[in-house]
Structure 1
Amino acid sequence: MASDLLERIKELIIDRRLPPGAPMPSERELTELLGTGRTCVREALKALQAMGIVDIRHGFGTYVGPMSMAPLTEGLAFRTVAGHYRGEDSLLQLLELREALETGLAGRLAGRLAEADLAELDALVARMEEEALDGAVRVETDRAFHAALCRGLDNPLLSEVLEAFWSAYRRVRADLPEQRSADPRASCARHREIVAAIRAGDSLRAQAAIRDHFCNIRSHLRLTYRFAR
């Protein structure tokens, strides 16, 4: 009954084409529309608020929520972290999902990024090269590069899904052995190749560059989980 009520309220939002921020019917109106008690309606609205579907503003009413991907992102990150500490290769699984997404988007971005966006990527690679001189590229710089790459598609959903990887990685990072054999200059070169391929408008080259970049990370994680077992 409770789940049915949630679905009916969600259907109401869809049927009325209510956008985020739009006012919802009052509790009294909902009880009449749905043929149920006010307590049931309140509990359903609380559950929907936890999902980001509605926003309850005490003293003002209930509104359609932002419908953010945050609950999914947090759930995916938590699943990954919990699995990692149980000895599962959950971070590797999430990395492979991220690789598939970024490989696909790289092909679509080839030849389509504005020069200003390419200049931002160039600047981030230059920063990586400076950091490499000190021994390692900072995770934050690598993250900024991939975030800038994803912005080129103007797809907030994609950016939020990819954020789950970084959130999970940040939480388990201290538990991962350092890549002592990795050459930070090679990482810089791989990122430079990604930008060059996209600037040249070569989709296949861009996809190959992304796969090459992830191959190194994937190999490191596979070794990590192999020795952990």
Structure 2
Amino acid sequence: MGHGFLEGYVCVPDGHNRASDTLRSVWKDALYIHGMYFTTSTFSDEGRSYFPNHSNHYLLASVSDMESVKKDLLEHASEFMSFIFPTKDPLFERPSISKLNYISMYFMKQSYTDENVNDLRDVFLRRRDRLRVAALADMHVVPDSTLKFPFPYSDDLIVLELEGEKSHQSDQKYCESTRKEVIRKGINISNLVSFSILNDIKE
């Protein structure tokens, strides 16, 4: 997951409904889906205030063709609020040595500068023992009609991928300590949502 040519991530509510079952079937053999996972989500207080109708479980996939994914969502899951996270600049990436275990999304309440980006890279490089990927990203809701009011920081997100065999609680604490280290650099970031990987669907 997160290997150079990927365009980002998609998250579809998974309540064992027809939409998620259909997408799971479509995406299992799709060449533009490079990893697919059953996850449980933890939205922050601020995340819950913007997305009160969020799901507790999501089908999360890594994507190399976002346009195809958007078409799939509109065709098969138009009645649900799904999220897509197109990645922009990679901040840090290393080869995988273990299984993907946790993905956490953060947002910045101010636009970032080149100096901020360099500081972020410095922090994430020091966290490479468990951090596999860090990238700047955007966020979009599909279909946008499911959103009552826009999330104002959707252009300034950071995605972190953690791998290993630690507990999800341990991963959460690790991400929180990473966030505090970023804040000490003068960059104020807040958690939006985290996804704990429960099952790898497309091994």
TM-score normalised by L of structure 1: 0.25
Pick 1 or 2: higher relative contact order, CA cutoff 8 A, min separation 6: 2
Where is the helix percentage greater, Structure 1 or Structure 2?
A: 1
Q: Which has the larger radius of gyration?
A: 1
TM-score normalised by L of structure 2: 0.27
Where is the strand percentage greater, Structure 1 or Structure 2?
A: 2
